[in-house]
Structure formats: structure tokens, C-alpha cells
Amino acid sequence: MNDWTEPGAVLPQPTHKQAAVLTTSSATRRWYQPNTPMVDWTGRRVWLIGASSGIGLACAQALRAAGAQVTVSARHPQQVQAWATQDAGVRWLPLDVTRVVDVQAAAREVLASGPLDLVVYCAGYYKAQRATAFDLNQMLQHNEVNYQGALHVLDAVLPGMLAQQQGHISLISSVAGWAGLPNGLAYGPTKAAMTNLAETLYVDLQDQGIGVSVVHPGFVATPLTAQNEFEMPALITPAKAANEMLRGWARGQFDIHFPRRFTLWLKLLKLLPYRLYFPLVRRFTGL
């Protein structure tokens, strides 16, 4: 079951047991929509991992403003802890996604309050790297946070979702995972893995009542992108990114990418044969 109510619908607050079998008048899933639209967030339970800043924090704030009960996890509290002390609908739960035992313990603590309606994996690590300065430790750290951390979270939450036949998993990837780009030697492959992971999860879970989506942001003004030494085209704010994510979930999308004035060009670029793709990338990036 993966039902979401229309805007304005009045929902009684379910008990923990009732939440597992909740049935309501839901937004209709059209034939062209990969997922059931997620429209009404009132009382929905969301766990965002790696969301103490940037896109993750903005998304947590947008979901809370829409009525969701949010749990935010990351290694460092940054702005979240103060927010959580002022709002009973926000919970801060520290977590290092690279430690599988800690992820399992955090998941048990979150699930003790009831099943989750949405899990968003936002944890990310980025350092620009080129093959001419290959750094194995950096390569492995990207993999540990960006990809293996997601596997740790899936291992902790998927059994419960499968048992309840409900919920939605959203993985934050990147347009850097669509094709090879300069400075993306460590980051890009981990995001390509996230995209492939989401695609395979969708294939496996679409008949299990569990929604899956993957988010491909372009350039967003976050602590990660602040280290870039070049002008970032179509740069947007984290708040704008969060709005695009909620809009994508409301439309039942699988591939949520933004801003489209930038991402659509990249989608076209990756369709080209390599003999055209490589010269164009070099020309546009100057690298």
C-alpha cells in the first residue's frame, strides 16, 4: 500500500498500528506515472539521512512546513539541533552512515515510533579529482559515503517496508552520474551507482507497494559546491531544489531532475556518440 491523500483531505491521526494499514482516498496514479503521487504530507513520517545542511536540510524544512513529521540524521547537527528543540515535529538523530551498526541502531529507534512513509538518502561527499592526481583514499571515501552508506540504510529500512507493503525510498544522485565529466573522477561514479541502484530498486519494488525515486540536481548552492572554482551554470538555491523535489513526488515521478534549463541539455548531450560527446565536453568545460 502506498496511498496519499488529496490536498485538503481531513485525516485522523492514526495509531502506530493503524498507520501500517492506513487506507484513504488517494491521489490517483495515472498510467504514465511511475509512482503514486505523494500529495498530502500531514502526519506523514519522513526520515532524511545526511540532511544537516544544503538540499537535505531545505527538503526537511519544506516537508515539515507541509505537515510531515521529520527525523533528520547526519554526523554533525549544524542548524538542525536548534530547530528540533523549537519544533516537536522535528527530531534530530545523529548518525554516521559509514558505520553499519550505527545505522541499524538508528533505524530501530526511528521505526519504534511507527512505519516510515518516506526515506530520503541525502548523504554526500565531494572533492574534485582528476586522473592526473589520482587519490585512492578520496576515491574510497566517496564510495563509502555516497554509495555504501545508502546500502546500509536500505538494509535497515527495506525489511519493514516490505512487511508493511508501503513507503517510498528516494535517493539523491546527481547529474554528474549521467556521464563522465572533468573533476568528477571520484564523485561521478558513485552517483552513477546511485542512479542504477534506484532504477533496479524500482524494478524490484514496483509490485510491492513501495515507491522509488531518484533525484538528479544540477548545481545547487551548498557547502559541497562552494569548493568549485568555476562558474556554475544555472545555479539554484537549496530551497528551490527542495521545492522541485516535492513537486516531483507530487507528480509521481521516478526521475526528478532540475533545473530543467540545464538538465535537459545534459540529457541530450549524453545521447550523443562518444566521438561527439568528448569534444563537446572539452569545449564547454575548457578542460
- Point out the residues of the chain with pLDDT beneath 70: 1-27, 226, 229-230
Determine the pLDDT at residue 229: 67
Determine the pLDDT at residue 235: 85
Distance CA 179, CA 93 (A): 35
Domains of the chain: 32-285 (3.40.50.720)
Distance CA 50, CA 127 (A): 17
Please name the residues in contact with 143: beta carbons below 8 A apart, sequence gap of 6 or more.
Answer: 189, 190
Distances from the Cα of 30 to the Cαs of 18, 27, 253, in angstroms?
A: 27, 9, 11
187 has catalytic annotation: yes
Distance CA 213, CA 139 (A): 26
Contact criterion met (CB below 8 Å) for 11 and 32: no
CA angle 235, 172, 183 (to 5 degrees): 55
pLDDT per position as a tens digit, 98-139: 999 999 999 999 999 999 999 999 999 999 999 999 999 999
Determine the pLDDT at residue 24: 32
Which residue, 34, 8, 7, 12, is CA-closest to 23? 12
Catalytic site residue from 125, 126, 147, 187:
187
Region of 247 on the Ramachandran plot (φ > 0 left; ψ -120 to 50 alpha; else beta): alpha
